Amino acid sequence: MKSLIHHLFPGPLLSLSMRGIFAMMIMAVAFMPASAKNRVAADTITAAKAFLKYPQQDLDLLTESMRQDMLDYMVERDSIYKKSNIYMGLSWIETMKPDYMNIHLSDVSSLQIKLLPCPGRLPIVMTLYTVDDGNGTADTTVKFFDNSMKQLPTDRYLKVPAPKDFYDVRKDAPVSVKDIEDEMPFYTIAMTVNPSTGALTGRLTSADGLSPEQQRLLSPYIRQTLLWTWTGRRMKLMN
């Protein structure tokens, strides 16, 4: 350290006291990266932390301690642990990566968590809560959170799809948008996220509940899926 100080500040340019100050500064800088790295690691969100801190009112079937048990088991044993939830059903983690999780919440619900990178900023947490009773009416609620799991406005990052986004009705088509709406007055949309890219896929699941005759008539004018990609700022609809 002494030779370094003399090399950086040779001769009488600095007094002994000033050299001592610079020496302490250099030592502080030398030790800073490790502590800073640890601090960042403690503060930066991961999919597991997002699951643990997910708002209790939106995930009432699993208390925070239940979620912690599921995470601990997955980390320590690298194995699926089927945890009894407060409704006496079973919940478990199907997939866990630093930036993605897929959780089986119950026989009719699941949760996907995906961290979306934002250049120059901390990542955004996107969650997809899907309810599927097995009758072809799976429906997904998409939410976004910041690094501290404070909920953010959904429309800032995603224009929530409406049924008409799935309709492909030309002016000369024998079917109108109103015809489709009359046949399908209620709608459900299921969405999934690509664990690697963060791309969203949406499907109009209420179309699955149409009768064979309705499907024959309407399916040529309903898009099977919609795709969104993450731009680093928001979801962009691709079709």
Q: 23-67, pLDDT tens digit by residue?
A: 444 444 344 444 433 433 557 899 999 999 999 999 999 999 999
List the structure tokens of 228. 């969104």
- pTM confidence score: 0.80
Angle at CA of residue 236, ends 232 and 239, nearest 5°: 150
Q: Are strands 90-97 and 83-84 parallel, antiparallel or unpaired?
A: antiparallel
Sign of the CA dihedral with 45 first, then 47, 52, and 56 last: positive
User: Mind listing the pLDDT tens digit for each residue in 52-64?
Assistant: 999 999 999 999 9
pLDDT at site 82: 95
Phi, psi (degrees; rounded to nearest 5) at 130: -115, 135
